[in-house]
Amino acid sequence: MKRRIVILIFLITSFSCFATNQEDDILIFNEDTIFLQIFLLEDLNLIDNPFGATRQTAPSTACWRGYRAVWRIQDNKLYLSRIIRCESDDKKGDENLEELFKKNRVAFEAKGDMIFASWVTSDMFLMNFSKAEYSDNTYLYNGAYEKKRKKEDALKLKIVDGIVTLNSR
């Protein structure tokens, strides 16, 4: 009996080791393109997802959400500028942001074609990948899995209600 339990625990933990990295969201800041390991649009808990995507219709295991968000910082404010299809998706085209927010009954403030991300409050930290593997890319994430160390030393962006309050980049 103990042997069966040990085997069961081993199998369950083994499957979680093979999780697929998700396609990153993109943050455009000045002339830089930064890859986000956090998915800020999910904080809205949309009922109707971009492109009508569900886990069952996802284009690949690398894109369960079915979309990638493109963010932009202008005048120290964070904006959602586009929602694009995943690289693994055969289909092309962008989601209409205003229609998506109206369909989900989410109040929004538009600036041109962008939506002010007033719902976002987040500290974003530099991801520590090996330099050989990711020498040309910068990745930011929310630090949830960071080992204990002074986060102030690694803090890159602090956003409160869509406003960038600290930029140590």
- Kindly state the helix (H) or strand (E) to which residue 34 belongs, with its residue range: strand 32-36
Q: Return the closest-CA partner of residue 69 out of 102, 97, 41.
A: 41
Distance of alpha carbon 159 from alpha carbon 93, whole angstroms? 29
Query: Residue-wise pLDDT tens for the chain (169 aa)?
Result: 666 665 656 555 555 444 567 788 889 888 888 888 888 998 999 999 888 776 666 667 777 888 889 999 999 999 999 998 887 777 888 989 999 999 999 999 999 999 999 999 988 877 655 444 444 556 676 655 454 445 555 667 889 999 998 777 5
Distance of alpha carbon 162 from alpha carbon 116, whole angstroms? 7
The conformational region for residue 76 under phi > 0 = left, psi -120 to 50 = alpha, else beta, is: left
The pTM of the full predicted model, rounded to 2 decimals, is 0.76
